[in-house]
């Protein structure tokens, strides 16, 4: 069963939708087709676990959903708007306004505190420093870091650093959150805590989230679970 096939219209009322997406790469003189007409719809406030073996195309799917790559065929809708034919500048603008990313490694700025790391994306978008830091404090406190606001990354544990990265990804209130193995670099107990905080914040903020993970136990706590089979997105029970 395909994962949420939407109608083929110009406006799709979802946070993100993939419609007939195909992605292929050249390898030597040959071509490898990673995605073959993939279909997926993410609704606001919904968390979806993407569970698939290495090499199946998880990163490709995330990159397409986050407008980091162009599909060879098909369409990617963000907040109901088609994006495949947009210029790179327009795609960058949509990413900045509507998409948040969390990676396995947090990529925090070492010279800035937790609050400053979360406030910076908001200030780049045009928010005042006072307002940006107020929202940063709110998000970090919600994630259990109210006592670590002024600490720099080197003074935080791995789990704390990743929670700062989650707050940063959600700072600009994106419509879509994409996470690639966000707890893959953490011990099981810390991973469970960070994953729980992420899932709770997804529901609290109404963002749609797709999280790639190899951890089936964590995936079972998501609203939906999907995998990739023969280049297509398939729902899991």
Note the CATH number of domain 46-70+87-235. 3.40.50.300
pLDDT confidence band for 186 (50 / 70 / 90)? confident
Give the mean model confidence (pLDDT) for residues 119-142. 92
pLDDT in tens, 169-181: 989 989 999 998 8
Residue spans per domain, the chain? 46-70+87-235
Distance from C-alpha of 65 to C-alpha of 218, rounded to nearest angstrom: 22
- Residue 32's nearest CA partner among 52, 60, 3, 51 is 60
Distance from C-alpha of 103 to C-alpha of 169, rounded to nearest angstrom: 10
Distance from C-alpha of 193 to C-alpha of 159, rounded to nearest angstrom: 8
pLDDT at residue 12 is higher than 50: no
pLDDT confidence band for 233 (50 / 70 / 90)? very high
Distance from C-alpha of 101 to C-alpha of 95, rounded to nearest angstrom: 9
Distance from C-alpha of 41 to C-alpha of 22, rounded to nearest angstrom: 16
pLDDT at 60 (0 to 100):
92
pLDDT in tens, 67-114: 999 999 999 999 888 998 899 999 999 988 899 998 877 789 999 999
- Residue 182's nearest CA partner among 99, 117, 105, 108 is 105
Cβ-based neighbour number of residue 1 at 10 Å: 9
SS3 content of the chain, % helix, strand, coil (to 5): 35, 25, 40
pLDDT at 13 (0 to 100):
66
**Mean pLDDT for the chain?**
87
Distance from C-alpha of 116 to C-alpha of 109, rounded to nearest angstrom: 9
Give the mean model confidence (pLDDT) for residues 49-71. 90
Report pTM.
0.84
Cβ-based neighbour number of residue 66 at 10 Å: 23
pLDDT in tens, 150-166: 999 999 988 889 889 98
pLDDT at 3 (0 to 100):
53
pLDDT at residue 9 is higher than 70: no
């Amino acid at each position: 069963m395909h994962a949420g096939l939407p109608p083929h219209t110009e406006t799709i009322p979802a946070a993100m939708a993939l419609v007939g997406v195909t992605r292929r790469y050249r390898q030597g003189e040959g071509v490898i087709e990673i995605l073959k007409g993939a279909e997926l719809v993410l609704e606001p406030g919904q968390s979806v676990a993407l569970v698939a073996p290495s090499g199946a195309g998880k990163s490709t799917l995330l990159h397409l959903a986050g407008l980091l790559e162009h599909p060879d065929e098909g369409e990617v809708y963000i907040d109901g708007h088609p994006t495949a034919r947009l210029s790179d500048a327009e795609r960058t603008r949509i990413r900045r306004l509507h998409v948040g990313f969390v990676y396995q490694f947090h990529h925090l700025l070492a010279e800035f505190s937790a609050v400053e790391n979360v406030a910076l994306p908001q200030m780049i978008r045009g928010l005042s420093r006072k307002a940006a830091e107020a929202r940063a404090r709110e998000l970090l406190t919600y994630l259990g870091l109210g006592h670590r606001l002024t600490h720099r990354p080197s003074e935080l544990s791995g789990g704390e650093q990743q929670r700062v990265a989650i707050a940063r990804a959600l700072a600009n209130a994106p419509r879509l959150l994409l996470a690639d193995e966000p707890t893959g670099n953490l011990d099981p107990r810390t991973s469970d805590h960070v994953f729980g905080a992420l899932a709770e914040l997804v529901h609290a903020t109404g963002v749609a989230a797709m999280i790639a993970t190899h951890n089936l136990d964590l995936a079972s706590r998501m609203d939906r679970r999907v995998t990739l089979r023969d280049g297509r997105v398939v729902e899991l029970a």
